[in-house]
Amino acid sequence: MNMSLVYAVLWGLLATVAMTAVLRASQGFGWSRLSLPLLVGTFFTGQRDRAVVWGYLIYVIGGWLFAFLYFLLFDSIGLYTWWFGALAGLVHGLFLLVCALPLLPFVHPRMASEYHGVTAQRQLEPPGFMAVNYGYGTPLTTLAAQTLYGAVLGAFVQLAN
Amino acid sequence: MRGGSFSLRPRDPFFTTTRRYVDRTAVLETDFTTESGSVRLLDLMPIDDGGRTLRPMREVLRAVEGMAGTVEIEVRLDLRPDYARRRVRPRRRGRLGWTYAWGDEVLVVHTDMALRLEGDALVGTVTLGAGERRYLSLAYTKSDPAVLPPLGKQAEERIADTIHWWREWAGHCRYAGPYREAVVRSAVTLKLLTYALSGAIVAAPTTSLPEAIGKGRNWDYRYCWLRDAGLTTQALLATGYREEALSFLGWMLHATRLSWPELQVMYDVFGRTRLAESELVHLAGYAGSRPVRIGNDAYRQRQLDIYGEVVIAACAALAGNGRLDTESARMLAGLGDVVCRQWRESDSSIWEVRGPLRHYTFSKVMCWAALDGLLRLHDDGALTLSPTKVEAFGRERAAIEQAIERRGFNAAIGSYASVLDGDKVDASLLLMACIGYKDASDPRMRATYDRIHRRLGRNGLLYRYERFDGIDGIEGAFGICGFWAIDNLAKRGELAAAEGRFQHMLAYANDLGLYGEEIDIASGAALGNFPQAFTHVGLINAAVAIERARA
């Protein structure tokens, strides 16, 4: 693979911005109530205003760092195309919806669960399977965002090669 | 079809209730008494803590406690969002309670009472003995994952925090006269009618509560009328709520930028200008009063009085407090230009009379007040007008005054008239003394006061006008007009008469001290949307006027 680290950093950031924009637009247009920055931020603080700001920051840095895993994946298989990136993003999105988000109530310090109810500490609504508790449009918008993320990264390596 | 409901009451239908606000708060306390015992219900919207913790976007919290004996309580929640145009069934969420979700909105019902589904409604019963407490929380969230408010100790903390917040807020009320309780209740009500995110104050939180039962006088009042601006700002400032007054003024100057230099009669709390009226034909209406309307076509009307209202609000807020910023000064001066161009034109008046436009005397008075206020702001150094503008505003102010005194005053009836060259009166003419156009003791003003009472007075109350406005049904007396009359009496120095009249008006408040827009002459019942900001503004200003007359 032939690409400079600086450009990889830039495209990792671009892909994260595109993914965040899709997720935020989904909230704005009323298709989903999923807010990953809020879920991430409340891991660290119970203050809503701080949680949102910190959540966005951590989420963007996380997305940007994740790009390097994608680059490693492209390199390991030797496929440098936008569609493979999109496919990787889709699988990543499915994993997020089916495994990661439903696990949150067991690891998130401020998330309630249908087993243990609400406590002074745990008040956030859990996402449920495929995060449909946040609206039936959530699986689609999440998959769209993750697919776009992978496609942008794949397009970059395709162009770079 | 009927709208939604959320009831909590004893199962025994032969219960009695008494209710009150917890002193100096917006927390409602209701006692239910049955043959077997009594319970007390607290209803509140917990105060937001400004993002310091995870709280739901909006919450209604209800706490019910057994006081004596045992009482079986029944709960019924029948949610019908979007004016009952959507059918939403609740979903059981294990120990998290029940959720109603539609679009990107979710309402969580969290309670320590067992609820079950009956049709689309959630119902439940519980028997409470003395000292037993149960909680019901309705938490609404839009666009974000919901926050589920805990019950028990944490609910008690929210109740205590809310009571403490309101008491501290009410403690800032500067009015110290004998009607403090009524004034504080009015101030709390104005605060409840304020949209926290913008400072805008809505006329009332309801739509289509009828001004005449069973007739068509049903309007949507969930908007901000500039008509109310001047008097509302004066009321807030006079009671020491400067921050609220400045927020309201700031919202007004910001919202009106969309239509500047011309002003629209009303805006919504976000400052939006298109408020098209439509009818919800599927709803039965309050006591069969149809149509149920949303939106209000009054926004299309021309009302020249609003220019004076905005300038009066600015004058009151700025009195002795330095200069306006350049943008606000430019905006206010622009209003003066519009007044100079338009005061000779006809309008729909403060009463939003639908039908042909007329030359209303009070509209001319408020045009005069706009120019007079701007010239005073210039003299005080709050804004700088060019010499050309000073000359033009002064000239037009004199011309307006001449028109009012020559054509607005009808010598044949010995009174100012509702319209130029007219022979009927309307109660807005009482405001000529309240806003300082005319001294309340002036012979013309006294004669107008007397004429208004002869033509519009009933049982110590006042109708707003004597003209038939073409809409079916006879409306009630207008609450705020009675308070304007008291203001006139106080400004004349007739303290005993003013106080007697004030106490008479207090008798028409409901058991919680709240007023609607109108009062039914025969029964004394409130009519129209409820509670009504304008009436409470009138109460505060009248109480303050009495206090100033006493000083």
8-state DSSP, B99: E
Q: Which of B161, B180, B208 is the last residue of a domain?
A: B161
Helix axis angle, A138-160 relative to A82-95, nearest 10°? 150
pLDDT at B258 over 90: no
How distant is the Cα of B55 from the closest Cα of chain A, in angstroms?
Answer: 8
Distance of CA A81 to the CA centre of its chain: 21
Asked if residue B189 belongs to a domain, the reply is yes
Q: What is the mean pLDDT of residues B483-499?
A: 97
pTM: 0.92
Exposed / middle / buried, residue B281 (Cβ in 10 Å: 0-12, 13-18, 19+): exposed
Average pLDDT of the segment spanning B209-214: 89
Q: How confident is the model at residue B326, as a pLDDT?
A: 84
* pLDDT value for A114: 84
Residue B408 per-residue DSSP state: I
Q: What pLDDT score was predicted for residue A4?
A: 75
Which of A91-100, B105-114, B139-148, B472-481 is least confident?
B472-481
Q: Distance (Å, rounded) from C-alpha B429 to C-alpha B416?
A: 7
* Chain A residues touching residue B61 (CB < 8 angstroms): none
Q: Has residue B306 been placed in a domain? A: yes
**Which chain A positions have a beta carbon within 8 Å of B146's beta carbon?**
33, 124-125
Cβ–Cβ below 8 Å for A32 and B95: no
Q: Over chain A, what is the mean pLDDT? A: 92
pLDDT, one tens digit per residue, over B127-148 is 999 999 999 999 999 999 999 9
The more confidently predicted of residues B185 and B211 is B185
pLDDT(B467) > 70? no
Instruction: For residue B400, tell me if it sits in a domain.
Output: yes
Residue-wise pLDDT for A65-79, tens only, equals 999 999 999 999 999
Inter-chain residue contact A124 with B148, CB threshold 8 Å:
yes
Q: Are residues B377 and B474 in the same domain?
A: yes
Q: Give residue B474's pLDDT.
A: 77
Residue B48 falls within a domain, yes or no?
A: yes
Residue B60, pLDDT above cutoff 60:
yes
**Is B229:B313 a contact under the CB 8 Å cutoff?**
yes
Q: Does B57 touch chain A (CB under 8 A)?
A: no
Q: How many CB atoms lie within 10 A of CB B423?
A: 11
Query: B50 pLDDT exceeds 90?
Result: no
In a domain, B167, yes or no: no
Could you tell me the pLDDT band of residue B473, with boundaries at 50, 70 and 90? Answer: low
* ipTM, two decimals: 0.89
Residues B373 and B514 grouped into a single domain: yes
The residue from B102, B137, B161 where one domain ends is B161
pLDDT band at B369 (very low <50, low <70, confident <90, very high): very high
Terminal CA-to-CA distance of chain A, rounded, Å?
7
Q: Which has the minimum average pLDDT: A19-23, B70-74, B192-196, B249-253?
A: B249-253
Q: Which two tokens stand for residue A37?
A: 């920055």
Any domain includes B218: yes
Burial label for B500, CB within 10 Å (0-12, 13-18, 19+), is middle
**C-alpha dist (Å) from residue A86 to A65, A89, A133:** 17, 5, 26
Give the span between the Cα atoms of B224 and B266, in whole angstroms.
5
Distance CA A32, CA A138 (A): 5
* B353 and B472 within one domain: yes
Check if B94 contacts A (Cβ < 8 Å).
yes
CA distance linking residue B206 with residue B218, whole number of Å: 10
Is residue B388 located within the same domain as residue B265? yes
By Cβ distance, the residue of A47, A49, A112 closest to B96 is A112
* Cβ contacts from A onto B, under 8 A: 92
B150 lies in the same domain as B190: no
Same domain, residue pair B193 and B335: yes
pLDDT at position B320, please? 63
Q: What is the pLDDT of residue B215?
A: 82
Mean pLDDT of B98-108: 93
pLDDT at B250 (0 to 100): 87
Mean pLDDT of all residues in B276-297: 94
Percent of chain B with pLDDT over 90: 81
* pLDDT interval class at A3 (50, 70, 90): low
Contact A27 B144 (CB under 8 A): yes
Given a cut of 60, whether residue A2 has pLDDT beyond it is no
Helical axes B326-342 vs B387-403, angle rounded to 10°: 40
Q: Is the pLDDT of residue B382 over 90?
A: no
Domain identity same for B137 and B239: no
The residue of chain A with its CA nearest to that of B98 is A114
Domain membership of residue B166 (yes or no) is no
Query: How sure is the predictor about A8, in pLDDT bands with cuts at 50, 70 and 90?
Result: confident
Is residue B18 exposed (0-12), middle (13-18) or buried (19+ Cβ within 10 Å)? exposed
Q: What is the mean pLDDT of residues B424-437?
A: 95
The whole-angstrom separation of Cα A84 and Cα B281 is 54
Close Cβ partners of A121 (under 8 Å, ≥ 6 residues apart): A46, A109, A110
- Regarding whether B288 and B341 lie in a shared domain, the answer is yes
Is the same domain home to B156 and B221?
Answer: no
Tokens of B157: 């903390």
Domain boundary pick from B130, B161, B192: B161
Residue B367 CB burial class (10 angstroms; 0-12, 13-18, ≥19): buried
Q: What pLDDT does residue B539 have?
A: 98
Ordered alpha helix ranges (H), B172-289: 180-192, 229-238, 242-255
Please determine, for residue B199, whether its predicted confidence score (pLDDT) is greater than 70.
yes
Taking alpha carbons only, the member of B236, B212, B257 closest to residue B317 is B236
Q: Which long-range contacts (CB under 8 A, 24 or more apart) does A57-63 make?
A: A59/A20, A60/A13, A60/A16, A60/A17, A60/A20, A63/A12, A63/A15, A63/A16, A63/A19, A63/A20, A63/A149
Give the closest-approach CA distance of A159 to chain B in angstroms: 37
CB contact under 8 A, B145 and A125: yes
Task: Give the model's pLDDT for residue B57.
Answer: 83
Helices then strands, each counted (H, E), chain A: 6, 0
Residues of chain B above pLDDT 70, percent? 98
Confidence of residue B468 (pLDDT cuts 50, 70, 90): low
Report the chain A residue with the minimal C-alpha distance to residue B155: A120
Structural domain that includes position B314: 172-550
Q: What are the backbone angles phi and psi of residue B19, rounded to the nearest 5°?
A: -145, 160
Residue B259 or residue B189, greater confidence: B189
Q: Do B59 and B138 form a contact (C-beta atoms < 8 A)?
A: yes
Q: How far apart are alpha carbons B257 and B20 in whole angstroms?
A: 41
| CATH number of the domain to which B316 belongs | 1.50.10.10
**Cβ of B53 and A48 within 8 Å?**
yes
Give the per-residue pLDDT at A51: 92
Look at residue B257 and give its three-state secondary structure.
helix
Q: pLDDT band for position B472 (50/70/90)? A: low
Cβ distance of B52 and A134 shorter than 8 Å: no
Residue B118 forms part of a structural domain:
yes
| Alpha carbon distance, N-terminus to C-terminus of chain B | 55
Please, which pLDDT band fits residue B466 given cuts at 50, 70 and 90?
Answer: confident
Is B293 in the same domain as B398? yes
Q: What does the mean pLDDT of chain B come to?
A: 93
DSSP B471-532: -SS---EEHHHHHHHHHHHHHHT-HHHHHHHHHHHHTTS-TTS---SEE-TTT--EESSSS-
Whether the CA torsion B539, B541, B544, B550 is positive or negative: it is negative
More confident residue, B474 or B289: B289
Alpha-carbon distance B262 to B249, whole Å?
Answer: 17
pLDDT at A7: 85
Q: What is the pLDDT of residue B317?
A: 85
Are B12 and B73 in contact, with CB atoms under 8 Å apart?
A: no
| Whether the predicted pLDDT of B201 surpasses 70 | yes
| Beta-carbon contacts of residue A87 (< 8 Å; ≥ 6 apart) | A150
Average pLDDT value for residue range B160-176:
97
Interface test with B, best of A48, A50, A54, A114 (most B CBs within 10 A): A48
Distances (CA, A) of B328 to A7, B250, B252, B353, B370: 48, 9, 11, 31, 15
Considering only residues B96 and B1, tell me which one the structure prediction assigns the higher pLDDT.
B96
- The number of domains in chain B is 2
Contact of B150 with chain A, judged by CB distance below 8 Å, is answered with yes
Predicted confidence band of residue B53 (pLDDT cuts 50, 70, 90) = confident
B124 and B181 in a single domain? The answer is no
C-beta atoms of B94 and A135 within 8 A: no
The continuous run of DSSP H or E covering B397 comes out as helix B387-403
Which residues have C-beta within 8 Å of that of residue B146, sequence separation ≥ 6?
Answer: A33, A124, A125, B56, B99, B106, B108, B139
Same domain, residue pair B144 and B262: no
